Each structure stands twice: as C-alpha cells, then as structure tokens.
Amino acid sequence: MKGHTYLPEEELIRRAVEALMETLGPVETVRFLTLSRRERLDSVLRHRRWQSTLDRNRFFTEVFTE
C-alpha cells in the first residue's frame, strides 16, 4: 500500500480555487468563499450558554479528581 503525502498548503489552496473557478465560475466561487459560517457561530453560542450555567468548582472537581 502506498503512503499518502499532503500537498503544501499554498498548492492545496491554489488547486481548490482553480477547481471552484472551473466548476462554478468567478461569481459563484466568490459567493461560496464568503458564505457565512452560521453553524460555527451557533456552536459557539451554545457553548457560551452552557458555560454561563456551569458551576466552576464542581466542574473542576469532577474533571480533575481521580
């Protein structure tokens, strides 16, 4: 079985943008690259809500007590 080598980051980005441009065209490529990352923001908000209800001392005791 042959091992896999990763492309350098610059090459990966160049190829990915070329593939998008070829497939979608310039307008849709830019639109795709600037899409809002709503799901990520939702997870951050959910985490902050969880943190706001957290009892820090109890949490540390549960995590760091053997």
Length reported for the chain: 66
Which residues have CB under 8 Å from 28's CB, separation 6+? 20
pLDDT reported for residue 59: 87
SS3 content of the chain, % helix, strand, coil (to 5): 75, 0, 25
The answer to whether residues 20 and 29 touch, using CB atoms and an 8 Å cutoff, is: yes
Question: pLDDT confidence of 66, banded at 50, 70, 90?
Answer: confident
pLDDT at 2 over 80: no
Rounded Cα–Cα distance for residues 52 and 49 (Å)? 5
The residue extents of the domains of the chain are 9-64
Write the pLDDT tens digit of every residue in 4-60.
889 999 999 999 999 999 999 999 999 999 987 766 668 888 889 989 999 989 888
pTM for the model stands at: 0.50
pLDDT reported for residue 1: 62
